[in-house]
Copies of this chain bind each other. A is one copy, B any other.
Amino acid sequence: MRFDDITLKSFCERVADGTPTPGGGAVSAVVGAFAASLIEMVANLTIARKDYAEWHSEMEKVIESMQKCRLELFQFADKDVQAFDEVMNAYKLPKDTQEKKKQRSEAIQKALENAAHVPYRTCRCLREVLNASEVVAKWGNVNAISDSISAAELARSAFNSAKANVLINVKYIKDESVKKLLLHEMETFTGEVEGIMRLVRKAVKERGGFEV
């Protein structure tokens, strides 16, 4: 399935129906792509203004990075659905002999690790989106300051939503080293994300004169 090619209405219908995919993992990646697009817009609206000339090269970097993130996030949305289906398929494997039981258990673990890694990579990408939201909130066109905070808010919720998908899969992973690493990384990322949010809010308060 490729989500970038379906309409917004059809995406909503596929989410809403009685099948578990696409679910929170895929939706958070798509929302992350929206946040990246908003940041790109603010960067474009900044480049259009001569009085922001000293920030133009910075904004060009932001655009390049957000275009890359947007593509990646759509890939993660697709991969999230595949990863979930693989977990479900692994659980359906036969367990009538000791050997098959073992194979099934290994397949489940492999699938779960992948199902945790996809939203983990979404989170990593969203950290980049949040970093870019700080750049546009601080130095982007002030007329689009509400778009900068919108982008940051949406990226943060996409991060938290993807994080929930990491954590729910981690619960069933048996390999302690994989578990530990993922939990440690998520904690670090969370600290960074909250730190960036504070800086974005500060910039919006100072430059836009309002607090969300």
For window 139-185 of A, CB contacts with B under 8 Å fall at 143-147, 149-151, 153-154, 156-158, 160-161, 163-165, 167-168, 171
Question: Chain A's interface: helix, strand, loop or mixed, by majority?
Answer: helix
- CA of A67 to CA of B38 in the docked complex: distance in angstroms? 26
For window 1-41 of A, CB contacts with B under 8 Å fall at 3-9, 11-13, 15-20, 23-25, 27-28, 30-31, 33-34, 36-38, 40-41
Residue of B6, B25, B38 touching A7 (CB-CB under 8 A): B6
Please give the count of copies of this chain that the complex contains: 2
A15 touches B34 (CB 8 A): yes
For window 41-84 of A, CB contacts with B under 8 Å fall at 41, 44-45, 47-48, 66-67, 70, 74
Binding site for B on A (CB under 8 A): 3-9, 11-13, 15-20, 23-25, 27-28, 30-31, 33-34, 36-38, 40-41, 44-45, 47-48, 66-67, 70, 74, 143-147, 149-151, 153-154, 156-158, 160-161, 163-165, 167-168, 171, 204, 208-212
